[in-house]
Amino acid sequence: MDYVYTPQRVCAKQFFFNVDEADRTLRDFQFTGGCFGNLQGIRRLLRGMKIDEIVDRLSDMPICPMSKVSSCPEEICKALIELRGLLDKGGEASRPVFGLSRMPG
């Protein structure tokens, strides 16, 4: 399942998640904008992890000094909590944002 999330008050503009619905494992995470090296590192670390484990690890992260309000790990956590809630309800998790309805190629 593909899921698109628009983070708030951080440099990254969009997050793209591909999740295995059956075991809730993150297959892939991509992004637009943001700190390329840091988010590539986060991407590599998160792939293959279960949503609950990611949320546990990214909860209570410090804020980014650039935004002074949030951080990309905190926004990833928010996105996955939202996605988990949709999966729990059996809802459709894919939601287009700015015309994007699938992961970038």
Question: The domain spanning residue 7 has which CATH number?
Answer: 3.30.390
Judge contact between 31 and 39, C-beta under 8 A.
Answer: yes
**Span 57-76, pLDDT tens digits:** 998 888 877 767 888 999 99
Q: Is residue 72 assigned to a domain?
A: yes
Tell me, what's the pLDDT at 102?
A: 43
Residues near 66 by beta carbon (within 8 Å), at least 6 away in sequence: 10, 11
Residue 75 lies in a domain: yes
State the residue range of the domain holding 16: 2-89
User: Is 104's pLDDT higher than 60?
Assistant: no
Per the domain annotation, does 105 fall within a domain? Answer: no
Task: Report the pLDDT value the prediction gives residue 44, as an integer from 0 to 100.
Answer: 96
Q: Is residue 99's pLDDT more than 50?
A: no
Whether residue 16 has pLDDT greater than 80: yes
Domain count, the chain: 1
- Residue 102, domain member (yes or no): no
Whether 15 is in a domain gets the answer: yes
pLDDT at 48: 97
Within-domain flag for 27: yes
